[in-house]
Amino acid sequence: MLPLTPARVPAAAGTGHWPDLIWTLVRTDFKTRYHGTIGGFVWALLKPLSMFVVLLAVFSFVFAGEPQYRLDLIIGLFLYEFFQESTKTGLLSLRAKAYLLTKARFPSWVVVVTSASNALITLLLFSVVLVTYLALAGRAPSPAGVALYVWYRLHFFAIVTGFSLAASVLFMRFRDLNQVWEVVTQAGFFIAPIIYPIGVLPERLHVLLYVWPPTPIILFSRSVLLDGRVPSPLAHALLSLEALAIVRRGGTLVARPVLEARGVSKSFEIPSVRRDTVREHALDLFRRRRTEQLCVLDSVSVSLMAGESVGLMGRNGSGKSTLLKILSGIYTADAGDVIARAPITPILELGIGWNPDLDAIDNVELLGTVMGMSLRELRRATGEILAFAGLERFARLELRHYSSGMAARLAYAVAFRAVRDVLILDEIFAVGDAEFKERCQERYRALHAAGHAMLLVSHEPRTIGSYCDRALLLEGGRIMLDGPAAEVAAAYVSLLTETDLQTRVG
């Protein structure tokens, strides 16, 4: 017998494995980014150097009275290049590394941190060159100054990591966030005191510049390396608090599920006598009607992370459909909470809502608008939807003349086009012929690789094992097992086999 109490299988890799994983990802990303050559790495240094030459030629005349303008400019450029490059790659990291996150269970923050770390290698090389140059030029910074500079680098890396963690999660929802962030960082380049000395601004405006995180890092680094002055303890404390707040906020977003159910319960009343008309109610006015409470879900908790594919298995009557409808917002739970932090597309009971007197195109617009698409989007996508369903020839045929399989294919085609951040899917591979199933499978893989979170219900163990990272086994309205998909699928088969044996014996 399988245990009827909830059980959770631990992750495949413990925390002791993370350093090896992080190092491997950093090394492979470094090789990919710089084409595995020293020349590729040196080429990455040319961008800030070329900007330095151009900006120096333009602004050196404006700030000719600044004795160390060249050094101030090169320090500001390299530090800001690190901020800009690392946040850009970190923002895209979860989507770019979705192929890894779908193959194994490990924390998604690892991907973000390693993506941001490659730019740190370039910055470290520049720092060594800069300190060496200052030493050869007779302006060697003190050991305390170098130590503080390293301390600032660690804080800057923490700030960049926090930004990247938050942006990578938000990018899963707002697909143009990379373009918005590029505009923000370009504007921030002119806000931070990189091409101009901060002294040219009134002192009352300095505090506003410090809100932009690269500003204090750039100013403090120049101060300890070039001027030999150490910022006040209060300034250091504020910098540490800022770094801690940004990392904490970013880590919270990464660790927070996009869809979560906490202790959800649901019961239905089953009346002993059904009354559907006024006459039946009038005749049975003084007759007591008994009802029975049917508990379908009992304190069920489910979480779905961004980019995660979770399977849901269970025998008929175990509460799967009710749970899906509660998560989708169709039913209201009697107890517990459901928290959706991203838009949801439920693909459930497709075909309900069709108007049989309308043709396929009108029904596509009807179902698509119900699922949240605009008419403009639908009219642009109608040809693609019909092609996916293989129904181009029957576009103007009324749905009353469609077979059940044709109507189901059309419904899945519309649903797969109306995707949002979270997809809740019920037996999507059980419809249509082999060719249509293959199209559904390819579409599922593409959506998963693009970072969509998936909750997939299926009675087929091979489907759950092939397409899900993790799975849940629901039995009697409770979570019996939560663990790796292959293990849950095997437990489901064992449960069916045991039930079948008990039925035969009985």
Task: For residue range 76-86, list pLDDT tens digits in order.
Answer: 988 998 898 88
| Residue 472, in any domain of the structure | yes
Last residue of a domain, one of 402, 417, 432: 417
Same domain, yes or no: 301 and 157: no
pLDDT above 70 coverage of the chain, percent: 84
Pick from 314, 269, 348: nearest CA to 481:
314
pLDDT category at 270 given cuts 50, 70, 90 is: confident
Edge-first strand order for the sheet with 470-475 is 344-347, 422-426, 453-457, 309-314, 470-475, 478-484
Same domain, yes or no: 201 and 94: yes
Last residue of a domain, one of 203, 223, 255: 255
Same domain, yes or no: 297 and 265: yes
Mean pLDDT of the chain: 81
The count of structural domains within the chain is 3
Same domain, yes or no: 338 and 480: yes
Give the pairing type, strands 309-314 and 470-475: parallel
| Residue 396, in any domain of the structure | yes
Same domain, yes or no: 198 and 263: no
| Residue 176, in any domain of the structure | yes
- Residue 417: other Cβ atoms inside 10 A: 20
Last residue of a domain, one of 207, 237, 255: 255
pLDDT category at 44 given cuts 50, 70, 90 is: low
| Residue 89, in any domain of the structure | yes
Q: What is the pLDDT of residues 229-246, one digit of tens each?
A: 999 999 899 889 988 988
pTM tops 0.85 = no
* The predicted structure's pLDDT at residue 219: 92
* The predicted structure's pLDDT at residue 2: 39
| Residue 25, in any domain of the structure | yes
Same domain, yes or no: 159 and 236: yes
Question: Can you give 122-148 as a three-state secondary structure string?
Answer: HHHHHHHHHHHHHHHCCCCCCHHHHHH
Q: Residue 102 pLDDT more than 80?
A: no
Q: Residue 9 pLDDT more than 60?
A: no
* The predicted structure's pLDDT at residue 1: 36
pLDDT category at 440 given cuts 50, 70, 90 is: confident
* The predicted structure's pLDDT at residue 39: 65
**Where is 456: in which H helix or E strand?**
strand 453-457
Same domain, yes or no: 158 and 48: yes
Q: What is the pLDDT of residues 377-421, one digit of tens each?
A: 888 889 999 998 889 999 999 988 988 788 888 888 888 888 778
Q: What is the pLDDT of residues 151-197, one digit of tens each?
A: 998 999 999 988 888 888 777 667 778 889 999 999 999 888 888 88
Same domain, yes or no: 111 and 246: yes
The residue segments making up the domain with residue 95 are 15-255
Same domain, yes or no: 303 and 197: no
The mean pLDDT of 249-267, rounded to a whole number, is: 84
| Residue 1, in any domain of the structure | no
Same domain, yes or no: 71 and 91: yes
Question: What is the token pair recorded at 491?
Answer: 């437990």
pLDDT category at 7 given cuts 50, 70, 90 is: very low
Same domain, yes or no: 72 and 221: yes
* The predicted structure's pLDDT at residue 363: 87
Distance CA 272, CA 254 (A): 49
Same domain, yes or no: 272 and 247: no
pLDDT above 90 coverage of the chain, percent: 18
The mean pLDDT of 359-369, rounded to a whole number, is: 87
Backbone angles phi, psi at 266, to 5 degrees: -150, 130
* The predicted structure's pLDDT at residue 504: 53
| Residue 10, in any domain of the structure | no
Question: Between residues 475 and 207, which one has the greater pLDDT?
Answer: 475
The mean pLDDT of 93-116, rounded to a whole number, is: 71
* Strand, coil or helix: 179: helix
Q: What is the pLDDT of residues 444-455, one digit of tens each?
A: 888 877 778 889
Distance CA 399, CA 361 (A): 10
Q: What is the pLDDT of residues 345-361, one digit of tens each?
A: 887 766 556 788 889 99
| Residue 6, in any domain of the structure | no
Q: Residue 485 pLDDT more than 80?
A: yes
* Strand, coil or helix: 269: strand
CA distances 15 to 19, 353, 481, Å, are: 8, 49, 23
Q: Contact 304/260 with Cβ under 8 angstroms?
A: yes
